[in-house]
Structure 1
Amino acid sequence: MYIKKIILAFAVIGLFVGGYYVYKVYNAFFIPNTSFNNTEAFVYIPSNTNFETVKTLLEPLLKDVSSFEAAAKRKGYTSNLKAGKFAIKRGMNNNELVNTLRSRNIPITLAFNNQETLEDLAGRVASQIEADSVSLVKAFNDEDFLKENGFDEQTKLAMYIPNSYEFFWNTTAAEFRDKMLKEYQRFWNDTRVSKANSLGLTPIEVTTLASVVHKETAKVDERPRVAGVYLNRLRDGMLLQADPTVIYALKLETGDFNQIIKRVLYKDLVLDSPYNTYKYGGLPPGPIAMPDITAIDAVLSPEKHDYFYFVANVENFGYHKFAKTLAQHNRNKEQYVRWINLQNIKR
């Protein structure tokens, strides 16, 4: 009888212990454990991190960090961390949290516009993914990569097509660069390459001219006309005489790409630089910025006309006045010079 009571007591204790254990496990895994009011919150987990860092990142989002840690250990997450951007939904329990952090790295939309230098691009990209600007610049300038893929110091800017792209936040510098190469190759499909060939230009030469067109006018609807002017000049062996190339040459000469130059002076036109299209014929040796897609397509599908000259239209700001003859152009130019002098723009 005494032995039966002992067995019964142990059984009751076992039930209590088991029940308590089940209760603890249930709480650790299946009770909601978020502490924010928004529908979701995002956490960015860096590469090569440790679980203590993950806990620190999650702490503001959780009611009970210790229960999350217990669940993470039981599910083997603490020794198998994943880098990336993760969406934490309001009301998630620890089981859902661990499953999300282990396998649901969500992509981001990365965007950049027409940067003038790869250093500018690196800064723009580094603000959107984990890779820093130093590692990005190093990847962009890798000599073996450039040579292997048909680029050089002057043309390397052409590989980056301004647009929006999908990446994972934890993308490395080399991965970003390599995907940009694939996007460049995808962009230059058979149709675009065929159009370039019909103009007697390579894709890089098209991008180079497009960078000038892009800098000449921000008006997308005017770009095919501007492109037509420059193509007419190239066809007839005339100098491009594009002010944006001179501005780029001045910035390159001084190493200061942040300076603002609103007016090209006559003394600037004698600068001995291959980018000075008042001094050297043909296209500059590479793009002076990253032209956007509308500028590239404007060169590939230019307006057919007999214009050889253009100057800013002070009666319709943002647009230009076009001329077929130098005499007509000089009349248009006089009006512009009078206006810019009245504005007291010296540089």
Structure 2
Amino acid sequence: MYIKKILWAIAIIGLLIFGGIAYYIYGAMFQPNTKFENETAYVYIPTDANYIQVRQQLQPLLKDMGSFDALAKRKKYTSNIKAGRFAISKGMNNNEIINSIRSKNLPIKIAFNNQHSLEELAGRISTQIEADSVSLLNAMIDNTFLEKNGFTKATALGMYLPNSYEFFWNTSAEGFREKMLTEYNRFWNESRLEKAKQLNLSPDEVMTLASVVHEESKQADEQPRVAGVYLNRLRIGMPLQADPTLKFAAYQLPEYRDTVIRRVLNVHKEIDSPYNTYKNLGLPPGLIAMPDLSAINAVLNPEKHNYLYFAADAKRLGYHKFAKTLAQHNNNAREYQRYLSSQGINR
């Protein structure tokens, strides 16, 4: 009888212990363990992160780190960290959280436009993905990559078409570059290549001219007419005479850095630079800025006309007056110069 009581006692203690363990495991796995109020919190886990780094990000979000640690160790997550951007929903339990940050890397939308240089672009992208601006810029100007794909440092900006794209947050600099090359090659389909050929331009030249058109006019409805003027000049061997290229050339000089040129003067036309399209025939060596898709399409689908000149329209700012003769153009230009002077814009 005494032995039976001992056995019963042992059995009851065992059940209690088992129940306690089961309750702890249930709590560690299935009890809600979030303490944030938003519906969703995001965790950004860097490449090559260790569990301590992950824990530092999770600590402000979870009620009980001890139970999470125990389950993470049991599920071998502590030695199998995955990089990326992961979502944790309000009310998730530890098991759900671990499953999410282990296997549900979420893509993000990144966007860029109007970048004036590869340096600016690298800085813009570095605020949206894990790769830093230095590694992005180094990937963009890598000579081996550029030569292999037919670019130069002057034309490389044209590979990055302004738009929104889907990437994983932990995309490397090289991964970003390769996807943008794929997008660029997709953009230059048979139809666009044929249009460029009809204009006697290469894709690089289309992008270069589009950058000039875009800097000259931000108005999508006017860009085909502006493109038509420049193509007319190229066709007859006339200098491009594009003021935005003079500004670009000036900004490369120490005396013009950190300044804004609001009025192109004769002194700018004397700058010794391959980007000075008053002195040099044909297109400049490369892009002067990142053109919008509207400007690229304007070059590929220019308005057909006989205009050779245009000047900013003082009565319709942002637009231009177009002329077929130099005399008519000079009148338009003088009108705009008077407007600038009336506004106190002298440089």
Q: TM-score, normalised by structure 2?
A: 0.98
Q: 1:267 is aligned with what amino acid?
A: V
Paired with 1:253 and 1:291, the residues of 2 have a C-alpha distance of 23
Cα offsets for 1:129-157 (capped at 9, x unmatched): 11111111111111101000101122111
Paired with 1:155 and 1:127, the residues of 2 have a C-alpha distance of 24
Cα offsets for 1:289-339 (capped at 9, x unmatched): 111111000000011111110010011111000001111101111100111
The residue that corresponds to 2:26 in the other structure is 26
Measured after TM superposition, the shift of residue 72 of structure 1 is 0.9
Measured after TM superposition, the shift of residue 3 of structure 1 is 2.0
Paired with 1:11 and 1:255, the residues of 2 have a C-alpha distance of 90
The residue that corresponds to 2:180 in the other structure is 180
Cα offsets for 1:33-78 (capped at 9, x unmatched): 1111111111111111111111110111111111111111111111
The residue that corresponds to 1:203 in the other structure is 203
* Residues 289 and 257 of structure 1, relative CA distance in 2, 3 Å threshold: farther
Q: 2:307 is aligned with what amino acid?
A: Y
1:136 maps onto 2:154 in alignment: no
Measured after TM superposition, the shift of residue 6 of structure 1 is 1.7
What does 1:1-347 align with in structure 2 at a 5 Å threshold? 1-254=1-254, 258-347=258-347
- Give 5+ residue unaligned stretches, structure 2: none
Q: 1:232 is aligned with what amino acid?
A: N
Paired with 2:157 and 2:167, the residues of 1 have a C-alpha distance of 20
Q: TM-score, normalised by structure 1?
A: 0.98
Paired with 2:148 and 2:253, the residues of 1 have a C-alpha distance of 28
Q: Work out the number of aligned pairs and report it.
A: 347
Q: 1:328 is aligned with what amino acid?
A: Q
Secondary structure at the counterpart of residue 303 of structure 1: coil
Measured after TM superposition, the shift of residue 259 of structure 1 is 2.9
Paired with 2:91 and 2:255, the residues of 1 have a C-alpha distance of 53
Secondary structure at the counterpart of residue 322 of structure 1: strand
Cα offsets for 1:226-272 (capped at 9, x unmatched): 00000011111111100000100111233966531111110110111
Paired with 2:35 and 2:73, the residues of 1 have a C-alpha distance of 21
Secondary structure at the counterpart of residue 269 of structure 2: helix
Paired with 1:267 and 1:127, the residues of 2 have a C-alpha distance of 38
Structure 1 runs (4+) deviating above 4 angstroms are 255-258
Paired with 1:259 and 1:189, the residues of 2 have a C-alpha distance of 40
Paired with 2:62 and 2:174, the residues of 1 have a C-alpha distance of 35
Paired with 1:224 and 1:9, the residues of 2 have a C-alpha distance of 92
Secondary structure at the counterpart of residue 251 of structure 2: helix
Q: 1:9 is aligned with what amino acid?
A: A
Paired with 1:333 and 1:134, the residues of 2 have a C-alpha distance of 43
RMSD (Å) for aligned C-alpha atoms: 1.1
Of stretches 94-103 and 112-121 in structure 1, the one that deviates more from structure 2 is 112-121
Measured after TM superposition, the shift of residue 169 of structure 1 is 0.6
Secondary structure at the counterpart of residue 111 of structure 1: strand
Measured after TM superposition, the shift of residue 4 of structure 1 is 1.8
Paired with 2:159 and 2:253, the residues of 1 have a C-alpha distance of 23
Q: 1:326 is aligned with what amino acid?
A: L
Of stretches 77-86 and 258-267 in structure 1, the one that deviates more from structure 2 is 258-267
Paired with 1:127 and 1:255, the residues of 2 have a C-alpha distance of 30
Q: 1:125 is aligned with what amino acid?
A: I
Paired with 1:28 and 1:155, the residues of 2 have a C-alpha distance of 56
Secondary structure at the counterpart of residue 298 of structure 1: helix
Paired with 2:177 and 2:289, the residues of 1 have a C-alpha distance of 17
Q: 2:20 is aligned with what amino acid?
A: Y
Paired with 2:166 and 2:176, the residues of 1 have a C-alpha distance of 10
- Give 5+ residue unaligned stretches, structure 1: none
Paired with 1:291 and 1:256, the residues of 2 have a C-alpha distance of 23
Q: 2:164 is aligned with what amino acid?
A: S
Secondary structure at the counterpart of residue 59 of structure 2: helix
Measured after TM superposition, the shift of residue 276 of structure 1 is 0.4
